[in-house]
Structure 1
Amino acid sequence: MHTMWKGSISFGLVNIPIKMFASTEDKEIKFRYLHKVCKTPLKYIRTCPTCNVEVEWGNIVRGVEYEPGRFVLIEEEDLAILEPEYNKAIEIIDFVNLSEIDPIYFDKSYYLSPQDTGAKAYSLLRQGLKETGKIGIAKIVLRSKQSLAAIRVYQNLLVLETLHFPDEVRSVDLVPEIPQNIEVSKKELSMAIQLIENLSAPFEPEKYTDDYREALRELINKKIEGEEIEIPKEAPQKNIIDLMQALQASLEQTKEKKKNKKGRKKKTTAS
């Protein structure tokens, strides 16, 4: 696994040299844009609309638009000035309960392992987090962007989760047409709760698969083999029924599924 970052975690005067690894991988099937006539992949050329010329990388600089059409230039030297202040030390600021953080704040996950001299301190923090049920809150700079971070235990290793800062999370007040003060009947609520209970199950991540990706891969393989692709018929639209009818029909459907599940379990146990 490729090491993408090296630094250290500190809490109090304890310092843990660590290495960071990407915890997930993108399985998305990538499309290339081709010239329809000759099937050649297209090139994307950087051009200046004012000078009407192609621009080489050596003539490209960073800039921030502070007023319409007016930019301040940011050179590599300017960014280098910030580096000593935001070095590769992740200082844990607070220890909090994971339940206090709403999932909307979470961004990306990274695996952490100790460097050669950090095994004991790494184990100490890991065990301390396990025993207290806490997670560490810190700040980290990755790819010239500072993020909040949560350090927690996942299985038997430390994981760093980057978090959005509060001002990066949009206010819910900006979302239009949210229902307010709409009453639901006790019967409707009772049936909705029962339906939720009927559909409840332990979280088993391995049972969830990317059906679209698998179907797309199958389609690609068929086209490679020269097979004819059948266009599926459009699914018939469901009749719109009122809320009570929908709840009742859903409950009957989930009850039947539960019976079938129990029956399969009994057969498996008996055999």
Structure 2
Amino acid sequence: MRTIWKGSISFGLVNVPVRVYSATQSHDVSLHQVHAEDGGRIRYQRKCEVCGEVVAYEDITKAYDDGENTVVLTAQDLASLPAESSKEIEVVEFVPAKQIDPIRLDKAYYLEPEEQALKPYTLLRRALEDTERSAVVRFALRQKTRLAVLRVRDKALLLQTMLWDDEIREAEFDVLETVPRISAKERDMASQLVSSLAADFDAAEFTDDYQEQLRTLVEAKLEQGETLDTSKTFGESEEGEDAEVVDLMEALQRSVERSKKRRSASRADASGGGGAGQGSNGRARKKA
């Protein structure tokens, strides 16, 4: 992994020098825009509106425009901001982990301690584990003050940035002001459906159908070219299987029955060594 930032965690008078690494990565197949007629790459140029010249990245800076005036801000100007020059991850408070609303969580980073800081790093990690709390921290990264939560993942400290209050939208939908009548039978059937799909979450059991199918498509097209028959590659679509179901109770009943059948089939496949079936809707699916 490549270090993206160096700094230190400060809690009280304790200072822990750390290196920061991105904790996630994309598995998406990379696609480019091309000219449909001849396959030529489409590239975008950074053109100046004043002189019309194409500008190199090293000659590009930032500016603020209020509609009347433009203030050009150089890299040196931005680096001079006190918050930007700080390399400290300041622990503000320790809070119960359940108080952090998941909607706030954004990018995740691993913190690696410098060798001489392993003891205070381990002490902080164990303090979080013992108290079952997370640390709310502040720091500056890439020209923005960040609010983040510091928590434990395995033996490492994980830093996860959080959105500010004004970055989270409220669900203000007029339709939710009307409360429909839900019968006891409907609630009971819905509970049965939940029970039939109940499980302990294991992310390793799921795969990204779309990306798997996209790789299959790329490989098939490399091999067969324009003669590719996608229906032979992926089989017929199962869309519209339950399109005729309009009654809520009937839909719930069918869902419970289908869930039970799929669970039974999964257990049979697992005991007999069978693999998971091919997904059809290009979404993350659970392996059998």
TM-score, L = length of structure 2: 0.83
Residue 30 of structure 1 and its aligned partner are, at CA, apart by: 1.2
Query: What corresponds to 1:13 in structure 2?
Result: 13
Query: What corresponds to 1:140 in structure 2?
Result: 139
Query: What corresponds to 2:32 in structure 1?
Result: 32
Query: What corresponds to 1:196 in structure 2?
Result: 194
Change (3 A) 1:5 1:61: closer
Partner of 1:47: helix, strand, or coil? coil
| Cα-to-partner distance string for 1:94-119 (whole Å, 9 max, x where unaligned) | 10111111110000111111112210
Greater mean alpha carbon deviation, residues 26-35 or residues 98-107: 26-35
Partner of 2:25: helix, strand, or coil? coil
Unaligned runs of 5+ in 1: none
Residue 183 of structure 1 and its aligned partner are, at CA, apart by: 2.0
Change (3 A) 1:6 1:256: same
Greater mean alpha carbon deviation, residues 119-128 or residues 36-45: 36-45
Query: What corresponds to 2:280 in structure 1?
Result: none
Partner of 1:94: helix, strand, or coil? strand
Greater mean alpha carbon deviation, residues 189-198 or residues 35-44: 35-44
Identity %: 35
Query: What corresponds to 2:253 in structure 1?
Result: 248
Partner of 1:93: helix, strand, or coil? strand
Q: Distance in 2 between matches of 1:222 and 1:190?
A: 47
Residue 36 of structure 1 and its aligned partner are, at CA, apart by: 4.0
| 2:47 pairs with 1:47 | yes
Partner of 2:115: helix, strand, or coil? coil
| Cα-to-partner distance string for 1:198-228 (whole Å, 9 max, x where unaligned) | 1011111111111111111111111111254
Q: Distance in 2 between matches of 1:33 and 1:263?
A: 44
- C-alpha RMSD over aligned residues: 2.5
Task: Please tell me the residue identity of whatever aligns with 1:254.
Answer: S
Task: Please tell me the residue identity of whatever aligns with 1:250.
Answer: S
Q: Distance in 2 between matches of 1:150 and 1:106?
A: 8
| Cα-to-partner distance string for 1:48-81 (whole Å, 9 max, x where unaligned) | 34544433446533122323x6433222232122
Partner of 1:144: helix, strand, or coil? coil
Partner of 2:204: helix, strand, or coil? helix
Residue 155 of structure 1 and its aligned partner are, at CA, apart by: 1.1
Residue 9 of structure 1 and its aligned partner are, at CA, apart by: 0.4
Q: Distance in 1 between matches of 2:21 and 2:54?
A: 37
| Cα-to-partner distance string for 1:5-42 (whole Å, 9 max, x where unaligned) | 11100111111111111111111111122344543323
> Which residue, 218, 222, 225 being the options, matches 2:223?
225
Unaligned runs of 5+ in 2: 274-288
| Cα-to-partner distance string for 1:111-145 (whole Å, 9 max, x where unaligned) | 11111221000010011111111010001211112
Q: Distance in 1 between matches of 2:139 and 2:112?
A: 16
Change (3 A) 1:255 1:85: closer
| 2:146 pairs with 1:113 | no
Residue 231 of structure 1 and its aligned partner are, at CA, apart by: 3.5
The answer to whether the Cα contact below 8 Å between 2:83 and 2:145 also exists between their aligned partners in 1 is no
Residue 46 of structure 1 and its aligned partner are, at CA, apart by: 1.6
The answer to whether the Cα contact below 8 Å between 2:18 and 2:114 also exists between their aligned partners in 1 is yes
Query: What corresponds to 2:277 in structure 1?
Result: none
Query: What corresponds to 2:87 in structure 1?
Result: 88
Q: Distance in 2 between matches of 1:235 and 1:170?
A: 36
